[in-house]
Structure 1
């Protein structure tokens, strides 16, 4: 009778001891179509420099995985060392958060073909980039127009184009501010403020900071935004 109760207990203990315990809270899986040989580096920015968190050798199989521990949602970078090419299309930013994230792309168009799923912050960041790209494209058109006008010595046209460029920049800044304020529950909000509009009028940065939830405000980018605001207030008082 005693044996009947001991056996299941022993099995449970053996099973528990055999389990692999891990504190990894981020699982990344991916597939790079056409990549047969090369090296992938998963990186993040630390003290102003890109630092590798994982190195993945690709040799025949285009699939890859990585398990990491993160303290807070953060922008990571997937760097592709092709080994035989000096292509500038080799560094893919992606927003990580605890859970399972999947990256699919191609060797030919590494950043353009990228599809990233499993991260709400990434989903929102993609939405943000889609809108901002319109302002960027329009500004590039204006740069060409301004060059042509300068070449033709059309001063009136140059002035009008420069005014339009300023208007485009202001539209981008205001959109970024509204985006951040409307998504204060996500770490992408302080990130875009830091990455895209760090020099905007302080009242807008203050508005963004006040819109952040406590969790986001005390995470990586919320803390950095607070530090930026404090530093600017101190500097601009002088």
Structure 2
């Protein structure tokens, strides 16, 4: 009788645990858009260069939201905010989604800039990369300002200096992105960065990134797209040299 009772308790605990865990291949997304009392949220993804809606959530009174939908492998998704009558450029939030539990905390005033996203290692790594990218963009903007100033009282030596600085900056960006993608080949963010940031880099580097991808990353959406991109570029270069 005692053994039967222990078995029953153990079975109940197992069932309870399974009920709280997100099933495999499912994304359970929770979050809060502080200050949003009324509006609509859309979860979207890119499919064949077109944004398609995966789910929509109506916000009425409570700014918290929750949704669950199938997601077999990590992929970049987009959280769109329909503010109703209020228009804003800050309505789109991209995030590297992964199956399991994820949470997005943000606010109505700074929908994109204030977002804190948890539950995805790929998202953490992408945020790390974007931190470097932000610094690159700041330096690039500074060079653009110098170019504009130089046009009013043009100086060739200054123009050459700005161009050299830009080329050094661009090389630094490409080296960082290539190293980042190669170092993190066990995550889907690696081929994603290669495709979105340095798709035109020398094929030697793309081949190196592809070789460092783990098997499950190679079989992912971005892993397959990177392989296809490399194949297409090699084919195009071969045909060009053959003429």
Deviation at 1:85, TM superposition (A): 2.3
Residue matched to 2:62: 61
Which ranges of 4 or more aligned residues in structure 1 deviate by more than 3 Å?
none
Residue matched to 1:172: 173
Residue matched to 1:70: 71
Deviation at 1:86, TM superposition (A): 2.2
Tell me the secondary structure at the aligned position of residue 36 of structure 2.
coil
Q: Residues of 2 paired with 1:85 and 1:139: CA distance?
A: 32
Count, aligned residues: 222
**Does residue 169 of structure 2 align to residue 156 of structure 1?**
no
**Does residue 112 of structure 2 align to residue 108 of structure 1?**
no
Alignment of 1:1-238 (within 5 A): 25-237=26-238, 238=240
Alpha carbons 2:25, 2:100 under 8 Å: kept: no
Q: Residues of 2 paired with 1:103 and 1:92: CA distance?
A: 10
Q: In the TM superposition, what whole-angstrom CA distance separates every residue of 1:55-87 from its partner, at most 9, and x where no partner exists?
A: 111111100011011121000000111112221
Q: Residues of 1 paired with 2:208 and 2:24: CA distance?
A: 36
Q: Residues of 1 paired with 2:164 and 2:193: CA distance?
A: 25
Q: In the TM superposition, what whole-angstrom CA distance separates every residue of 1:76-133 from its partner, at most 9, and x where no partner exists?
A: 0001111122211110010011110000000000011000000000011111111121
Tell me the secondary structure at the aligned position of residue 84 of structure 2.
coil
Which shows bigger deviation, 208-217 or 84-93? Answer: 84-93
Alpha carbons 1:104, 1:116 under 8 Å: kept: yes
Deviation at 1:216, TM superposition (A): 0.3
Alpha carbons 1:26, 1:67 under 8 Å: kept: yes
Tell me the secondary structure at the aligned position of residue 83 of structure 1.
coil
Q: Residues of 1 paired with 2:201 and 2:104: CA distance?
A: 33
Alpha carbons 1:24, 1:67 under 8 Å: kept: no
Q: Residues of 2 paired with 1:64 and 1:79: CA distance?
A: 13
TM-score under structure 2 length normalisation: 0.88
Q: In the TM superposition, what whole-angstrom CA distance separates every residue of 1:171-212 from its partner, at most 9, and x where no partner exists?
A: 111100000011000000000000111111111100100010
Q: CA RMSD in A?
A: 1.8
Q: Residues of 1 paired with 2:140 and 2:25: CA distance?
A: 43
TM-score under structure 1 length normalisation: 0.90
Unaligned runs of 5+ in 2: 1-7
CA pair 201-71 structure 1, distance change in 2 beyond 3 A: same
Q: Residues of 1 paired with 2:60 and 2:135: CA distance?
A: 39
Unaligned runs of 5+ in 1: 1-7
